């Protein structure tokens, strides 16, 4: 197992905290399937962020190509995880913001 830096632990803790505390207006009891889906999505998003960071630092074109394929696979896995209605809205807003930042 690889040691993680403090930043990734902080991000992971924030994600877990956001899932553990239901937001206002949201039912406090989610099904086990919904919780599992949320955790899977969070795990995939953290992996995606890590791969993007590696891609930014990569000097090898062969390694960069491997990272791009890995990123495409992660994106496909993320797309396959079902979203709740409010998550879909947040995801769409985040995607729009990312496209504006480019």
Quick one: which of 41, 43, 32, 46 has its CA closest to 87?
41
Q: How much is the CA Rg of the chain, to the nearest whole Å?
A: 16
Instruction: Specify whether the backbone of 25 is left (phi greater than 0), alpha (psi in -120 to 50) or beta.
Output: left
SS3 at position 2: coil
What's the mean per-residue pLDDT of the chain? Answer: 78
Q: According to the model, what pLDDT value does residue 44 have?
A: 95
42-80: pLDDT as tens digits: 999 999 999 999 999 999 999 999 999 999 999 999 999
Q: Yes or no: say if 27 and 71 are a contact pair by the CB < 8 Å rule.
A: no
Query: Which pTM does this prediction carry?
Result: 0.55
Alpha-carbon separation of residue 49 from 22, 25, 91 (angstroms): 24, 30, 15
């Amino acid at each position: 197992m690889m040691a993680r830096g403090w930043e990734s632990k902080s991000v992971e803790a924030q994600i877990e905290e956001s899932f553990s505390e239901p937001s206002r207006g949201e039912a406090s009891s989610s099904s086990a399937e919904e919780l599992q889906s949320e955790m899977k999505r969070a795990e995939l998003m953290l992996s995606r962020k890590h791969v993007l960071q590696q891609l930014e630092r990569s000097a090898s074109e062969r390694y960069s190509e491997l990272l791009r394929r890995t990123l495409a696979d992660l994106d496909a896995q993320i797309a396959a995880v079902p979203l709740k209605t409010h998550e879909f809205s947040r995801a769409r807003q985040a995607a729009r913001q990312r496209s504006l930042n480019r």
